[in-house]
């Protein structure tokens, strides 16, 4: 077995990206939701055609963290879609950053480095992240990278409305 490798995902990676997205979201948050709400959310958020469209959009990028060719984590970035009055068309957003639990401890930082480098490839710009209010470890991680809480919104998974923090850098 080799160590984790990180590579930018391409159009042929849509199925792997959808699968690791479903797996990591379920592992991280699955216990918070009724099974039918979770499944409906996963079916929409990680639908294969939606992932293909995302990978085909030049304003977006994704990375896979792999062990021997099997995805164990991922990151997605693109234009900011968070509901905050200071978001402009030039803003970027870290949309997803997840690693399966056996591989946490540095791999998320490596994925984040790749995502930030891509987001700022044309120079510094305002960056945004939405993070669950109960995910204190993620909030600490993002604060260490210069992000600060600037707002809140409701993140809907079926009938559940989670309190989500909006964090910004720049």
Instruction: Return d(Cα 101, Cα 145) in angstroms, integer.
Output: 22
What does CATH list as the number for 5-169?
3.40.630.30
Lowest mean pLDDT among 102-111, 112-121, 153-162: 102-111
- Residue 121: pLDDT band with limits 50, 70, 90: very high
Tokens coding 51: 């992932």
Interacting residues of 147 by C-beta distance below 8 A, sequence separation 6+? 127, 129, 167, 168, 169
Query: By percentage, how much of the chain surpasses pLDDT 90?
Result: 90
pLDDT at residue 1 in the model: 62
Per the model's pLDDT, the better-predicted residue between 29 and 105 turns out to be 29
pLDDT at residue 144 in the model: 96
| pLDDT at 8 > cutoff 90 | yes
Average pLDDT over every residue of 54-82: 96
Spatial contact of 72 and 20, defined as CB atoms under 8 Å apart: yes
Nearest alpha carbon to residue 77 among 54, 100, 107, 47: 54
């Amino acid at each position: 077995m080799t160590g984790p490798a990180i590579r930018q995902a391409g159009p042929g990676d849509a199925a792997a990206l959808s699968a690791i997205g479903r797996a990591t979201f379920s592992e991280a948050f699955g216990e918070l939701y009724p099974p039918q709400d979770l499944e409906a959310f996963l079916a929409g958020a990680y639908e294969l055609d939606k992932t293909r469209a995302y990978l085909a959009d030049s304003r977006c990028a994704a990375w896979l963290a792999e062990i021997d060719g099997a995805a164990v984590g991922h990151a997605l970035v693109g234009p900011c879609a968070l509901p905050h009055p200071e978001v402009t068309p030039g803003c970027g957003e870290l949309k997803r950053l997840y690693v399966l639990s056996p591989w946490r401890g540095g791999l998320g930082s490596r994925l984040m480095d790749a995502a930030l480098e891509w987001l700022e490839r044309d120079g510094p710009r305002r960056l945004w992240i939405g993070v669950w209010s109960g995910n204190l470890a993620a909030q600490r991680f993002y604060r260490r990278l210069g992000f600060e809480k600037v707002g809140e919104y409701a993140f809907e998974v079926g009938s559940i409305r989670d309190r989500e923090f909006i964090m910004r850098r720049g």
